[in-house]
C-alpha cells in the first residue's frame, strides 16, 4: 500500500464521530472528522485514497445535495451514507446517485467496516483507471495539432494514403507525423496506439 486510506467522517453528533474514529483507527484506517457538511466541503485536503462516511441528515445539508455538491466540485471519493431516520426512497436515491452503501443507525461495526472497505476498494480502482487515462491524455496533449489529427485518423483504421487525402497532404508527411505520434505516445505498435486513442476519445460518466 503506497498511501494509507483516509476516511472522512461527517456527522453532527460528536459521540458518533468519536465512535467511528476509534473504530476506523482500530483497523489501521486514517480518519478525519467534520461536524458539518460545509466543514468538509470547505476543507482542502490532499487527494488521498479513501472515502466519505456521512449522515444523510445534517443541520446544514442533506445527503443528496451533498452528493451533488461533490460531483460539482470534482471530488470523486466514494460515499457511504448513514442515517437514524431514513426512508426507503432516500436510500434508493442515494444509491442511484452512486453511494456505495446506506446504513441505518444503529449499525453493526462490521457492517460499517465492510461498507468502508468496499468504498476504499472502489476508490482505488477508479484511481488506477483515472491515472492511466490522464497519463495518456497528458501525453496526447504534447502532440502537435497535426500529429493529433493523424493519430486519430490512423487509429480509426485509415491507411496513410487515406489520411493524406483527408488532410490534403502527402503520404510522406503523414508517415512523419505518425512516427512522431508513436514516439511521443510511447507506443511500440499500432495496437498500442489504438488502445491509447480509446482512452483519449470517449466519455463514459
Partner DNA sequence: GGCGGGATCAAACCAAGGTATGACCGGCCT
Partner DNA sequence: AGGCCGGTCATACCTTGGTTTGATCCCGCC
- The C-alpha cell that represents 144 in the structure block: 502537435
Smallest distance, its own copies to C-beta of residue 156, A: 7
Tell me the CB-side half-sphere exposure of residue 5, using CA atoms within 13 A: 24
Is there binding between residue 179 and DNA (CB under 7 A)?
A: yes
Q: Which of 25, 47, 130, 192 binds its own copies (CB under 8 A)?
A: 192
Q: Please, which of residues 98-117 interact with its own copies by CB under 8 A?
A: 101-102, 104
Q: What contacts 134, CB < 8 A, 6 or more positions away?
A: none
At 104 the three-state DSSP class reads: strand
At 80 the three-state DSSP class reads: strand
Scanning 61-200, the segments in alpha helix (DSSP H) are 63-73, 88-96, 109-141, 145-154, 160-167, 171-185, 190-200
Is there binding between residue 190 and its own copies (CB under 8 A)?
A: yes
Is there binding between residue 191 and its own copies (CB under 8 A)?
A: yes
Q: Which of 22, 26, 134, 144 binds DNA (CB under 7 A)?
A: 144
Smallest distance, DNA to C-beta of residue 186, A: 12
Place of cell 482512452: 199
CA-wise closest residue to 9 among 1, 96, 25 = 25
Q: Which of 16, 58, 177, 197 binds DNA (CB under 7 A)?
A: 177
Q: Which does 91 bind (CB under 5 to 8 A by kind): its own copies, DNA, none?
A: its own copies
Instruction: Determine the straight-line distance between the first and last CA of the chain, rounded to whole angstroms.
Output: 27
**In which element (H, E) is residue 51 found?**
strand 50-55
Nearer to its own copies, 2 or 157 (CB): 157
Smallest distance, DNA to C-beta of residue 193, A: 9
Smallest distance, its own copies to C-beta of residue 185, A: 14
Is there binding between residue 155 and DNA (CB under 7 A)?
A: no
Residue 127, burial from CB neighbour count under 10 angstroms (0-12, 13-18, 19+): middle
Q: Which of 43, 68, 95, 129 binds its own copies (CB under 8 A)?
A: 95
**Interface with DNA (CB under 7 A):** 144-147, 159-161, 167, 169-173, 175-179, 182-183, 190
**Interface with its own copies (CB under 8 A):** 86-89, 91-92, 95-96, 101-102, 104, 155-159, 188-192, 194-195
Amino acid at each position: 500500500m503506497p498511501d494509507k486510506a483516509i476516511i472522512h467522517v461527517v456527522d453532527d453528533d460528536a459521540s458518533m464521530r468519536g465512535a467511528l474514529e476509534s473504530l476506523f483507527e482500530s483497523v489501521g484506517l486514517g480518519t478525519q472528522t467534520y461536524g458539518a457538511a460545509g466543514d468538509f466541503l470547505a476543507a482542502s485536503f490532499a487527494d488521498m485514497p479513501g472515502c466519505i462516511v456521512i449522515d444523510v441528515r445534517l443541520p446544514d445539508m442533506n445527503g443528496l445535495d451533498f452528493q451533488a455538491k461533490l460531483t460539482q466540485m470534482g471530488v470523486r471519493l466514494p460515499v457511504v451514507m448513514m442515517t437514524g431516520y431514513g426512508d426507503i426512497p432516500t436510500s434508493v436515491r442515494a444509491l442511484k446517485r452512486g453511494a456505495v452503501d446506506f446504513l441505518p443507525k444503529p449499525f453493526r461495526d462490521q457492517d460499517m467496516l465492510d461498507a468502508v472497505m468496499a468504498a476504499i476498494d472502489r476508490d482505488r480502482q477508479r484511481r488506477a483507471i483515472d491515472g492511466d487515462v490522464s497519463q495518456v491524455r497528458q501525453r496526447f496533449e504534447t502532440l502537435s495539432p497535426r500529429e493529433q489529427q493523424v493519430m486519430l485518423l490512423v487509429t480509426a483504421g485509415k491507411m496513410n494514403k487515406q489520411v493524406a487525402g483527408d488532410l490534403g497532404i502527402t503520404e510522406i508527411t503523414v508517415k512523419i507525423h505518425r512516427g512522431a505520434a508513436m514516439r511521443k505516445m510511447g507506443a511500440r505498435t499500432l495496437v498500442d496506439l489504438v488502445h491509447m486513442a480509446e482512452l483519449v476519445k470517449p466519455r463514459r460518466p
